[in-house]
Structure 1
Amino acid sequence: MSSEDSRRSANTAVLLREAFVALNDRMIQRLEQRGHGVVRPAHGAVFQHVDDGGTPVARLAERAQMTKQAMAELVAHLERHGYVTRIPDPDDRRAKLVLPTPKGREVFAIAQELLPEIEKMLDDLLGARRAAALRADLERIRATADGHGSG
């Protein structure tokens, strides 16, 4: 490992991302075990940001901080595989809303089932007090970075 590699791996932002990737990989494995092998990590950008009543692609892209074109590709993939559908937006005749299908809602349900396991794993790994402190610290970082906290 070069000194550049060790500096990069010691970077807090990189460690946070790598921890997220490791936890997200558990989700992808669980989805694959349950018959949803076409769902990839990138599709989390759709599932995380879609509203129950439907969401325009442009709003999904904005929430996920990605281009409309990239979001449209993710949505198209999920639509081809039956996870979402597009319906006319009643508020804008030119737009369509992305809406989860029953198959897409199953992905949400599987994610909800896995969350307590992940929380327990963190409690077991760090201890309940440290895990709670980590959650509080991450929430504070998020709030501050979003401009909602005092830092």
Structure 2
Amino acid sequence: MVDIEVARSDLSTVIDKKDDAFLGQNIKGMMMTLIARWNAEMDEARAETEFADVRPADIRVFAQLRGRTVKLSTIHREMGFSRQAAQQAVERLTGHGMITVQSDPQSKRDKLVSITPKGHRWRTIAAEQIRRIETEIGEAIGSDGKESLRRHLITLTGNT
């Protein structure tokens, strides 16, 4: 057991020295930092609205709808949540009056999730916050850089 600990210790030291700069500035990590910052700013803006008592994680599930009527299975698959976790978030959002859930006429097992008028009010608030974030991005990298970033993200996400 001691030999394994020594090997793990040696391995982590080698990796840290070799990849320190890479790990400090990797794209994934920097994107996660930005997303966390922007989510916190959106949570702060939400705190002053009728949506203040909605859980931040549930707001992110709601955001995944992107205005669409979608199957519950799509929500959990796109977000990487378990079906149970997605179902619980959907139940809480339904309780807040932000979405409705109906049986899918094409499937006995799946449910269709749709946005209510109250949910659309949140979308309007969120759109204002997202525009502010995109303005911040444009100020940092210029309008052409922002649109180039958008095109690259579309390519990377497969949302062509």
TM bucket normalised to smaller: 0.7 to 0.9
Give the distance between the partners of 2:114 and 2:68, measured in 1 at CA. Answer: 7
TM-score (norm 2): 0.71
Give the distance between the partners of 1:114 and 1:147, measured in 2 at CA. Answer: 24
Q: Structure 1 vs Structure 2: percent identity of aligned residues? A: 23
Of 10, 19, 37, the match for 2:52 = 37
With 84-93 and 50-59 compared, the bigger mean Cα shift is at 50-59
Unaligned runs of 5+ in 2: 1-12
Letter in 2 for 1:128: G
Letter in 2 for 1:57: L
Aligned-CA RMSD value: 2.9
Q: How many residues align?
A: 142
Residue aligning to 1:74: 89
TM-score (norm 1): 0.74
Residue aligning to 2:145: 133
Give the distance between the partners of 2:159 and 2:109, measured in 1 at CA. Answer: 34
Give the distance between the partners of 1:27 and 1:93, measured in 2 at CA. Answer: 37
Of 5, 15, 25, the match for 2:30 = 15
Residue aligning to 1:100: 115
Following superposition, the deviation at residue 71 of structure 1 comes to 0.8
Check whether the contact 1:88–1:95 (CA below 8 A) recurs between aligned residues.
yes
- Residue-by-residue CA offset, 1:114-147 (whole Å, 9 max, x unaligned): 22222222233x1525xx3255246425524x46
Following superposition, the deviation at residue 107 of structure 1 comes to 1.1
Check whether the contact 2:98–2:116 (CA below 8 A) recurs between aligned residues.
yes
Of 98, 101, 104, the match for 1:86 = 101
Give the distance between the partners of 2:136 and 2:24, measured in 1 at CA. Answer: 23
Larger Rg: 2
Unaligned runs of 5+ in 1: none
Of 140, 143, 151, the match for 2:155 = 143
